[in-house]
Amino acid sequence: MKPPGRIASRSARGAELASRQHTSPAWLHRSAPAFAAIALFAVVAHATLGCSTEGGTPAAPAGISDEERAAALLDPAALLPPRAETVALADAVAIASSRAGAPAQAASLAELAGDLRVRLFRLDQAVTDAREAMELYSAAATAFRASADPAHVERACQAERRRALLAGELAHDAAVAYRELYLVSRRYAALAPPAPSGGAPRSQCLGALALALAQAAAYRPSGDALRALEQEGHRVEGVALALAPGSAPGSSAAPASAAGAAPVQVTTAEATGDVVVAPRAPAAPTGPVKITSIERHGSDKGARVVVELSAPTTFDVGTLAADESAGKDARVFVDIARATSRGIAKEIEVGGVLRRVRVGVQPDGTRVVLDLAANLHRRIFYLPDPFRIVVDVSTRPPLRDDKDNPGGAREVRRVAIDPGHGGNDTGAVGPTGLKEKDVTLDVAHRVAPLLARELKIETLLTRDSDTYVPLELRTARANAFHADLFVSIHCNASENGRARGVQTFSLAAPHDGEATSAQLAARENAARAGRGGQGVDPGDPGARLEVAAILSNLNVGDMAARSRHFAELLQRSSLASLSPRYPDTKDQGVRGAGFFVLAGADMPAALFETAFISNPEDEARLATADFRQKMADAIVNAIRAYREGK
């Protein structure tokens, strides 16, 4: 980083840049009917987010912190240093945010980095700056919401309001801004304390949101689009209530006004370890709910059934013990409200512990029945966008706390290796065209023989060729294999082409300020063949939080701790393997996120991001046999360390 004395540089460009900043963006020059509303959002955005007017400010004194320097550069009269230096400063503040211990401090730093990125955007009109700012504002809001302090909730609202305004500005569409602002207003109306009778407004942010929405009422959607937006608002509101400080997912404390929302409710049976994670009460669908497919995978050890539906709905789960005298198998049934099954086979033979799946009509919906070969352990949960009900059954009981053998050797006889993506799903693609699906499969093919030869471990590859395997069936195969560990191999990617290094994830709700982790999980979760990458919107914080609430309830006993520990071993092993040959390898750390591919795993599971394929230098390394072999060695060494009780 250049010394603070460079703050006054670029003065020769000052007049021209200042003039350019006060020129209306090209997208404002539209048809007359749209101009007023779009201009409104542009004016509000400029007023709220600041404008980079160059002026004459003294050079900053030496020795000030990055935070102080960034704050000084937000003064409209301050001259910005060269772009590369300003970007580096914003990145430094963002990194400090991710490392801050206190949520409020992390939020303030993320907000500061976002404000500095916005000032750059106003100056250079680089879309990357606006997108980085939106991500930082989202991270700031998430961290602020972790506090019950009303002042912090207010700052969270303001940060999301700024993000919403930027979203509309980038889309060049007032309707987009209206949608984003509406969802922000629904989220924070649910979180705001009640206004005293006859008192002042409960939130300045909510007041500003209401004013902006009223002024842009002409861009409010209508018909089905309006109903869809209101349904999304119900969900955002409900998730905000369910995940607010002091609330637990599935809490029944949500007020009646949020009855249309979909916070999760969790039912557990301590004796058997059975778990059911269901939506509390999704908003009523705009049309009929249809079962679109039933996928199944079974073996003699376990099975998974995935029921995909056209819209969210509620469901109830029941079990019936085997009745030998009547010749009836043990059964698990799922009653799906308001669902039809036209076009779905009434009986599907499977085999193994799952004999068959039967589908029957009910007065108020459809019943799906699993005929089992024995009384098995069960886990039932749902995944959104598209809405799916997942039923897992297994002969193996859920993993319990490892209190009897702390620090001792662990039994690892079977390992499932999951090469990410495949077939029509290429995954991320590097600057020169290197495909993530090819890298992950090659690394997996290097891992399997090493595990067999060096550790005498039996290995399952969830895919052994360039084929597509649905995310839900990858863990299903690992469960049916009775694997003791599960490793999903991927390549990281970022819109910021400078990002690089190795990173490892376990299944958990992201920690405060980890919006990037949640967005990465959303991108991976959207990988579905034939769907064009559709799925949970990476830019929708409510959707990300709902996914986190669902998946974080699937860990039984100390599964989350074991998965986190294995992820840490994998991260350390990768750095040890790479550093001698590639000493500049960046440690991106271990994070928690809601990856669907890890959902419902019966064993400790981790997702390993080998390197950033979006970074030219990392991509060049990923293309080499040497780098891939070192990644394979790292995975094998981490499994060895875990088995040895390290």
pLDDT of residue 509: 55
Quick check: 618 pLDDT over 60? yes
At residue 83, the 3 state secondary structure works out as helix
Section 444-469 average pLDDT: 96
Pairwise pLDDT comparison (511 vs 443), residue with the higher score: 443
Pairwise pLDDT comparison (250 vs 506), residue with the higher score: 506
Q: Could you tell me which residues come within 8 angstroms of residue 49 by beta carbon, excluding any fewer than 6 positions away? A: 115, 118, 122, 133, 162, 165, 166
- Least trusted range by pLDDT, from 273-277, 310-314, 463-467: 273-277
Going from the C-alpha of 617 to that of each of 29, 73, 133, 258, 586, the distances in angstroms are 41, 32, 25, 49, 12
Quick check: 542 pLDDT over 60? no
Going from the C-alpha of 200 to that of each of 76, 154, 204, 207, 536, the distances in angstroms are 31, 15, 9, 11, 38
Backbone angles phi, psi at 194, to 5 degrees: -60, 145
By the 8 A CB rule, do 487 and 606 touch?
A: yes
Quote the CA–CA distance of 646 and 643 in Å, as a whole number.
8
User: What percent of the chain is predicted at pLDDT more than 70?
Assistant: 72
Buried b (16+ CB within 10 A) or exposed e, 130-150: bbbbbbbbbbbbbbbbbbeee
pLDDT of residue 359: 96
β-sheet bridge partners, residue 444: none
pLDDT of residue 633: 97
Preceding omega of 398 cis (within 30 degrees of 0)? no
Map out the domains of the chain as residue ranges. Answer: 4-192+200-242, 264-394, 414-643
Section 205-212 average pLDDT: 85
Q: How many C-alpha atoms does 238 have within 13 Å on its Cβ side?
A: 28
Q: According to the per-residue pLDDT averaged within each range, which of 204-213, 405-414, 441-450 is highest?
A: 441-450
pLDDT-derived band of residue 245, with 50, 70 and 90 as boundaries?
low
pLDDT-derived band of residue 557, with 50, 70 and 90 as boundaries?
low
Question: Which pTM was predicted?
Answer: 0.57
pLDDT of residue 496: 80
By the 8 A CB rule, do 399 and 554 touch?
A: no
Type of residue at 90: A
**The pair of three-digit structure tokens given for residue 481, joined into one six-digit string:** 């294999």
Quick check: 607 pLDDT over 90? yes
Residues in the chain: 646
Q: Over the Cα atoms of the chain, what is R_g?
A: 26
Residue with tokens 């006004």: 257
May I ask the CATH architecture of the domain 414-643? 3-Layer(aba) Sandwich (3.40)
Quick check: 26 pLDDT over 70? no
DSSP secondary-structure letter at 323? B
- Least trusted range by pLDDT, from 32-46, 75-89, 140-154, 247-261: 247-261
Query: How buried is 171 (Cβ within 10 angstroms: 0-12 exposed, 13-18 middle, 19+ buried)?
Result: middle
pLDDT-derived band of residue 27, with 50, 70 and 90 as boundaries?
very low
Quote the CA–CA distance of 573 and 584 in Å, as a whole number.
16
Mean pLDDT of the chain: 78
Quick check: 139 pLDDT over 90? no
Pairwise pLDDT comparison (20 vs 505), residue with the higher score: 505
Quick check: 345 pLDDT over 60? yes
Section 105-114 average pLDDT: 91
Each residue of 59-70: pLDDT tens digit?
Answer: 555 578 889 999
Quote the CA–CA distance of 2 and 89 in Å, as a whole number.
10
pLDDT-derived band of residue 511, with 50, 70 and 90 as boundaries?
very low
Q: Quote the Cα angle for 391-392-393, to 5°.
A: 120
- Least trusted range by pLDDT, from 90-104, 173-187, 421-435: 90-104
Domain 264-394 class, CATH top level: mainly beta
By the 8 A CB rule, do 594 and 548 touch?
A: yes
Closest CA to 190 of 545, 579, 606, 610: 545
pLDDT of residue 320: 86
Quote the CA–CA distance of 73 and 85 in Å, as a whole number.
12
pLDDT-derived band of residue 263, with 50, 70 and 90 as boundaries?
very low
Quick check: 616 pLDDT over 50? yes
Other residues' Cβ atoms within 10 Å of the Cβ of residue 246 = 7
Q: Which pairing describes strands 605-612 and 502-507: parallel, antiparallel, or unpaired?
A: antiparallel
Pairwise pLDDT comparison (419 vs 210), residue with the higher score: 419
Pairwise pLDDT comparison (77 vs 244), residue with the higher score: 77
By the 8 A CB rule, do 358 and 375 touch?
A: no
β-sheet bridge partners, residue 435: 429
**The pair of three-digit structure tokens given for residue 128, joined into one six-digit string:** 């990357």
By the 8 A CB rule, do 609 and 436 touch?
A: no
Question: What is the per-residue DSSP string for 258-275?
Answer: GTTS--EEEEEETTTTEE
Residue with tokens 């949608």: 179
Quick check: 612 pLDDT over 80? yes
Pairwise pLDDT comparison (629 vs 519), residue with the higher score: 629
Q: Where does residue 645 fall: left (phi above 0), alpha (psi -120 to 50 degrees), or beta otherwise?
A: left
Quick check: 221 pLDDT over 70? yes
